[in-house]
Chain A
Amino acid sequence: MPRSPDEEPLSVVEATFDDVRKLAALFREAAEAAGLQERVQLDCELALVEAANNIVEHGYAGTTGGKISFWLAIVPAEVRMELRDQGKPVPSGQFSKCQQFELDAPDGRGTTIIQSCIDQIGYRTEHGENRLVMIKQL
């Protein structure tokens, strides 16, 4: 399993919701092989799917042919997931804003869900590439 973004990604998928399912399946396979606790698996898969969905829906909105690259490292202390894309960046500060869930809102929960599931979130854009790092402490 690729441990570092310096290595080849675990997977590169099309920026479609169907392919987000492929990322989730890859994560589950690795998580089960590593024997991760159920709660950790649930939280990480959910955060991964929400983050990838955001890339599909917002990052590549109005475009076709976009790609999402996925790195995954599972070590004794943490699970580290990284997504990279070349779409429109997430608005500045989005992942560090303190947001409350609107109970009856039909959408808009994705980022807050990620914040609830993940311990450390890092996001930056370099040379037209967006990099989202999500770390779950074990």
Chain B
Amino acid sequence: MRSKVIERARLQLWAMWSAFLLAALFLLFLSLLPLDTAPALWAGPDLLLALALAFSVRRPEYLPALLLVGVMLLADFLLQRPPGLMALLVLIGSETLKAQSTALRDQNFFMEWLSVSGILVAILLSNRVILAALLLPQAPLGLTLMQSAATICAYPALVGAAHLLVGLRKVTPAEVDGMGRRS
């Protein structure tokens, strides 16, 4: 009986890992489509980043650090970013959110949105600061600000989509045992 429960939990874990991987690959694929080859005047949301943050704040166990680093490093290589930097910052941000996730579990969505936005802005800003410190060329500030605003605005929609499509839900009190741990 017990082993069956564990078996099912493990299966669920694998399913969510592969769901994250597939969603990330899909988002990368979308951004690589050669649709607009002229320079854009506006920047859309960085959905991959938002997805990673949503996973880390809602269900930390569904986004192991190794998976996150693998995906973000691939994104760094594919999207012509300095390899490793964005992945490192996202890893730090994600771990911070994971540490907060237990506290945020009982709060409403607005608090979650707020803390995710804080982390997101911190990631993008420190990215700029590090690039500037190392004298590397960077994107115009306006575009970066636009991108972070768009990402913050897109976050609720993304969480809704993840809720419906992947079943990414916050831990309910029923799933938590007496010690505050998840069963």
Q: Tell whether A and B belong to one assembly.
A: no
Contacts from B to A (Cβ < 8 Å): none
Contacts from A to B (Cβ < 8 Å): none
